[in-house]
């Protein structure tokens, strides 16, 4: 069997060899075929035949020379270079190889290689030498432009008459003698000599003459003559962009981008094309990539900076525009103007002022920007520089209403008469300028002249009845005459039902008067023409709850959302209603997976997570809100409040200071910075902030200053001083915050009775706007002083009125336990609290502690041990867990838990000693 298989193998091999031999061309036959294809212009077929010939005769240099020539014609320069070198290595003379290699290096932008090529080559045949020298010289012109390296005078004798004309024409072009270049170019065109170089020179002349369409035509012709000239591909795209042939330019750029996606110049071209199409997102993407890959020209920075500005990515815009403004070789007033606007947006007001001062040419249109910068500086307390800029603005355009408005604003609280005079000029210049009429009326109000303010409203009424009547209502509203304000706003709405300002003021009046039915009616009217109005959406939800019509309101909101599913406001309000009416999990179901939430949606979703005790998810929602709406202060305030809620005041302070960088004019943030520095007992820092606040005239009547001074005294345990200052703050502006701090100072002074009386008095008058919060504080005060019965009673009322939340249930359960009341009721409440916030260690601790007191030792162990793992640093939890362990006889484990108690309070120290005595 083996011998048979072997015989078959021999036969098969023999057949295979004979078949190959029959189909294989000889070298001569391949060369003949190649020559025939060359004669008929079939370059690709000729190349295949020559490659066959090379495989049969790899050492034949003449075949490789011919193959190299064809590669040059085809524009495949890498392959051409390879074959020409191999031809030279196999004995083909420099006279035949070097002229071709010089062209290969030149067309593939290897200019240095072309310049150095003749250093080692020996070319003697005149025509070959002329070609080699010409392309060496052309490469030299594009690489160094240093005439001391290669002088035309030194080589002109070796150049043919035609090549000398080409060399002289290019020399004149690079020397910017365009008239002589054009004359020589005409001669070259007549001669039809070296068409690629002639067309290339024609393209360059057209480009430099701004005849970009002709440049495009010439570069296209070059590509037909020489399919792959590297530089020309780029110059073609650039000429197309200049000629506004954007579609063609985009197609050509895409071809080049496929070859190298990181090429900085092509990314710049793509960015430029997108920029011209006003596709700023793409323009930004490509220009940023060009910069990252090494291109750092003025043009690419300009595109990146302006595109970022258009996309409201102001930090990126600032980076690029600021870079341009710092360049020593570049100056543009327009760049500095735009940079100033970006700096103002980012709160870099002093830098914006510097950018404006660097302008070399100013005109009337700059007045608005100067006045805006001055106003921003004034808001941050830099009144000297603000006045200088506003005066410059007035010099540039004394009739500019925006300038006058800002000058008037500078006089608010200082010289109201001057403010009034300026605002009168504003409304005289432009009787349709609403803000002018409103500010003029308010200036009269501040000046104590309500009659003059009403006269302004009357004058405006003659021009714009609805707005004039609304202004009348605002004047009455601000002076406390709500009846006349109500009448004026209703008249305005009769004139124009969609007058938003009048409708919104009506909401405020009805809220003050506690008229939920009227609130609901007005809010629905607003939503009929402004369906995403947050104030109206919230008013609908709150009034529905007060009227116990939440189901009807929710149906109404669902209907709005179904009519327009893109309306996220109605969906957010629906979720808010679910949250406020005891269905927080439904609120999360409605919003948790929704893309593109509006601010109300983010707020509601984050608040719902916080309500359920999932602080981590709540804070993440607020953070995402800030990312989606970076120019809005509210998400920062929510994040700050969230961290305060979980006791992380240091992080709250850090977030406050970050927000101050983004919103430097927000006085509230400075007060929050003081608040947290005070809470953290950072006395030195807090005193510096307080000093800064006092220096700002805007804070002269700020009732919070004595409050924070009092809190600093409280932190220093100077209870006498603290009580004095906090009593002043509380009398100036009674609030649950000042009451809470004042109560603490009173307790520190031993004035428990006064504290209790003050709280109860405050509770009786502080019904709105935050009764739940304040009543919660008073309840916690009762817990603090050990009046657990009152505390439990208050928490029970809060549960009935505001629904079951984890915090309220937990506090009710704890105080019920401490009051020795109904343990079953306490366990029920604590169990519900854990169901709402299963990851909250404090709430688990409450349930476990109540179960321990009710002799449910197994359940108590499960919950207290879990709480201790969740919050290993909590002294209260560790003390409870240790007491349970001692009662179960596990002394070793109890001792380990007690060792975790660090820096105990006086009460905790007493309890710690008692437990250790039991070990």
Q: What is the mean pLDDT of residues 463-470?
A: 90
Q: Which two tokens stand for residue 363?
A: 């005109």
Where is pLDDT greater, at 404 or 197? 197
Closest CA to 476 of 467, 489, 465: 489
Preceding peptide of 769 cis, ω within 30°: yes
Q: How confident is the model at residue 380 (pLDDT cuts 50, 70, 90)?
A: low
Closest CA to 117 of 93, 99, 138, 144: 99
Average pLDDT, the chain: 86
CA–CA separation, 649 vs 636, rounded Å?
Answer: 14
Residue 513, pLDDT above cutoff 70: yes
How many other β-carbons are positioned within 10 Å of the β-carbon of residue 457? 24
Name which of 306-310, 376-380, 554-558, 881-885 the model is least confident about: 376-380
Q: How far is CA 468 from the centre of its chain?
A: 39
Name which of 165-169, 317-321, 681-685, 789-793 the model is least confident about: 681-685
Q: How confident is the model at residue 4 (pLDDT cuts 50, 70, 90)?
A: very low
How many other β-carbons are positioned within 10 Å of the β-carbon of residue 91? 10
Per residue in 306-322, pLDDT (tens digit) is 999 999 898 899 999 99
Q: In sequence order, what are the residues at sequence separation of 6 or more whose Cβ sits closer than 8 angstroms to the Cβ of residue 914? A: none
Q: What is the mean pLDDT of residues 8-34?
A: 55
Q: What is the mean pLDDT of residues 207-215?
A: 94
Where is pLDDT greater, at 599 or 348? 599
How many other β-carbons are positioned within 10 Å of the β-carbon of residue 488? 25
Q: What is the mean pLDDT of residues 842-860?
A: 92
> How buried is residue 629: exposed, middle or buried, by Cβ count under 10 Å (0-12/13-18/19+)?
middle
Q: In sequence order, what are the residues at sequence separation of 6 or more whose Cβ sits closer than 8 angstroms to the Cβ of residue 487? A: 473
CA atoms within 13 A on the CB side of 634: 13
What is the sign, positive or negative, of the torsion defined by CA atoms of 389, 395, 401, 407? positive
Q: What is the mean pLDDT of residues 280-291?
A: 94
Q: What is the mean pLDDT of residues 619-648?
A: 91
Instruction: Name the phi and psi angles at 899, rounded to 5.
Output: -65, -20
CA–CA separation, 630 vs 347, rounded Å?
Answer: 13
Q: What angle do CA 67, 71, 73 make, to 5 degrees?
A: 115
For residues 726 and 738, the answer to whether their CB atoms sit within 8 Å is: yes
Q: What is the mean pLDDT of residues 49-69?
A: 87
Per residue in 762-807, pLDDT (tens digit) is 877 654 544 577 788 788 888 888 899 999 999 998 998 888 899 9
Residue 133, pLDDT above cutoff 50: yes
> How buried is residue 41: exposed, middle or buried, by Cβ count under 10 Å (0-12/13-18/19+)?
exposed
Per residue in 635-657, pLDDT (tens digit) is 999 999 999 888 899 999 999 99
Q: How confident is the model at residue 363 (pLDDT cuts 50, 70, 90)?
A: confident
Residue 894, pLDDT above cutoff 70: yes
Q: Which two tokens stand for residue 104?
A: 């290969």
Q: What is the pTM of this model?
A: 0.53
Domains of the chain: 27-188+197-207 (1.25.40.10)
Name which of 24-28, 460-464, 856-860 the model is least confident about: 24-28
Q: What is the mean pLDDT of residues 72-86?
A: 89
- Chain length of the chain: 919
pLDDT of residue 557: 93
Q: Which two tokens stand for residue 41?
A: 């212009």
Residue 18, pLDDT above cutoff 70: no
Q: Which two tokens stand for residue 361?
A: 């040419």
Where is pLDDT greater, at 437 or 242? 242
Q: In sequence order, what are the residues at sequence separation of 6 or more whose Cβ sits closer than 8 angstroms to the Cβ of residue 316? A: 284, 288, 304, 305, 308
CA–CA separation, 339 vs 320, rounded Å?
Answer: 9
């Amino acid at each position: 069997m083996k011998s048979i298989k072997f015989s078959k193998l021999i036969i098969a091999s023999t057949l295979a060899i004979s078949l190959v031999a029959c189909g294989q061309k000889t070298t001569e036959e391949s060369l003949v075929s190649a020559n025939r294809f060359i004669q008929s212009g079939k370059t690709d077929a000729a190349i295949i035949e020559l490659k066959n010939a090379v495989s049969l005769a790899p050492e034949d240099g003449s075949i490789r020379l011919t193959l190299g020539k064809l590669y040059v014609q085809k524009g495949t320069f890498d392959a051409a270079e390879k074959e020409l070198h191999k031809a030279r290595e196999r004995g083909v003379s420099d006279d035949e190889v070097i002229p071709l290699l010089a062209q290969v290096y030149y067309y593939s932008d290897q200019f240095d290689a072309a310049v150095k090529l003749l250093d080692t080559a020996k070319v003697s045949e005149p025509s070959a030498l002329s070609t080699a020298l010409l392309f060496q010289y052309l490469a030299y012109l594009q690489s160094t432009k240093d005439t001391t390296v290669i002088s035309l005078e030194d080589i002109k004798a070796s150049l043919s008459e035609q090549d000398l004309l080409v060399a002289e024409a290019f020399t004149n072009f690079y020397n910017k003698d365009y008239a002589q270049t054009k004359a020589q170019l005409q001669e070259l065109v007549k001669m039809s000599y070296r068409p690629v170089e002639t067309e290339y020179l024609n393209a360059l002349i057209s480009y430099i003459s701004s005849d970009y369409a002709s440049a495009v035509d010439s570069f296209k012709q070059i590509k037909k003559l020489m399919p792959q000239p590297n530089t020309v591909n780029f110059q073609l795209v650039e000429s197309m962009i200049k000629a506004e042939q954007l579609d063609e330019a985009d197609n050509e750029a895409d071809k080049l981008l496929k070859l190298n996606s990181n090429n900085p110049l092509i990314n710049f071209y793509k960015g430029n094309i997108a920029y011209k199409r006003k596709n700023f997102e793409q323009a930004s993407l490509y220009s940023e990539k060009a910069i990252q890959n090494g291109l750092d020209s003025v043009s690419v920075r300009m595109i990146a900076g302006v595109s970022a500005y258009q996309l409201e990515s102001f930090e990126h815009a600032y980076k690029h525009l600021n870079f341009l403004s710092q360049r020593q070789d570049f100056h543009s007033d327009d760049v500095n103007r735009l940079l100033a606007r970006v700096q103002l947006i980012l709160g870099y007001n002093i830098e914006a002022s510097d950018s404006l001062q660097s302008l070399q040419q100013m005109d009337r249109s700059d007045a608005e920007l100067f006045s805006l910068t001055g106003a921003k500086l004034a808001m941050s307390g830099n009144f000297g520089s603000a006045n200088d800029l506003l005066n410059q603005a007035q010099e540039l355009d004394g009739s500019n209403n925006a300038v006058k408005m800002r000058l008037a604003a500078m006089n608010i609280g200082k010289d109201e008469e001057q403010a009034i005079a300026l605002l009168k000029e504003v409304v005289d210049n432009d009787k349709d300028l609403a803000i002018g009429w409103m500010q003029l009326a308010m200036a009269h109000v501040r000046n104590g002249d309500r009659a003059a303010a009403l006269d302004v409203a009357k004058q405006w009424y003659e021009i714009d009845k609805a707005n004039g009547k609304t202004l009348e209502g605002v004047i009455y509203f601000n002076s406390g005459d709500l009846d006349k304000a109500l009448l004026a706003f209703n008249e305005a709405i009769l004139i124009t039902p969609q007058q938003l300002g009048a409708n919104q003021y009506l909401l405020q009046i009805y809220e003050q008067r506690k008229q939920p039915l009227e609130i609901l009616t007005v809010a629905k009217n607003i939503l009929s023409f402004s369906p995403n109005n947050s104030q109206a959406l919230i008013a609908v939800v709150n009034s529905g709850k007060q009227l116990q019509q939440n189901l009807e309101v929710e149906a109404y909101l669902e209907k709005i959302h179904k009519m327009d599913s893109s309306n996220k406001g109605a969906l957010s309000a629906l979720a808010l209603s679910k949250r406020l009416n005891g269905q927080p999990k439904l609120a999360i179901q409605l919003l948790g997976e929704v893309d593109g939430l509006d601010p109300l949606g983010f707020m509601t979703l984050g608040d719902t997570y916080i309500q359920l005790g999932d602080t981590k998810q709540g804070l993440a929602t607020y953070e995402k809100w800030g990312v989606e709406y970076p120019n809005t202060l509210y998400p920062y305030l929510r994040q700050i409040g969230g961290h305060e809620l979980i006791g992380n005041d240091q992080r709250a302070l850090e977030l406050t200071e970050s927000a101050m960088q983004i919103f430097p004019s927000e006085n509230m943030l400075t007060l929050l910075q003081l608040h947290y520095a005070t809470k953290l007992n950072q006395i030195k820092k807090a005193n510096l902030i307080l000093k800064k606040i006092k220096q700002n005239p805007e804070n002269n009547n700020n009732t919070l200053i004595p409050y924070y001074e009092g809190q600093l005294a409280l932190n220093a345990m100077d209870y006498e001083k603290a009580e004095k200052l906090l009593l002043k703050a509380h009398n100036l502006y009674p609030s649950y915050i000042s009451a809470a701090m004042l109560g603490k100072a009173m307790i520190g002074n031993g004035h428990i009775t006064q504290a209790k009386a003050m709280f109860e008095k405050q509770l009786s008058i502080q019904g709105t706007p935050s009764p739940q919060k304040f009543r919660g504080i008073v309840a916690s005060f009762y817990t603090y002083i050990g009046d657990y019965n009152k505390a439990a009673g208050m928490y029970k009322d809060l549960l009935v009125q505001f629904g079951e939340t984890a915090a309220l249930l937990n506090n009710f359960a704890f105080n019920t336990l401490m009051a020795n009341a109904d343990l079953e009721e306490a366990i029920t409440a604590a169990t519900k609290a854990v169901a709402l916030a299963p990851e909250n260690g404090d709430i688990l601790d409450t349930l476990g502690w109540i179960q321990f007191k009710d002799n449910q030792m197994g359940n108590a162990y499960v919950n207290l041990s879990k709480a201790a793992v969740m919050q290993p640093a909590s002294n209260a939890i560790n003390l409870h867990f240790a007491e349970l362990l001692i009662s179960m006889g596990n002394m070793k484990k109890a001792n380990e838990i007690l060792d975790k108690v660090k820096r105990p309070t006086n009460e905790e120290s007493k309890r710690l000693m008692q437990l250790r005595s039991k070990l």
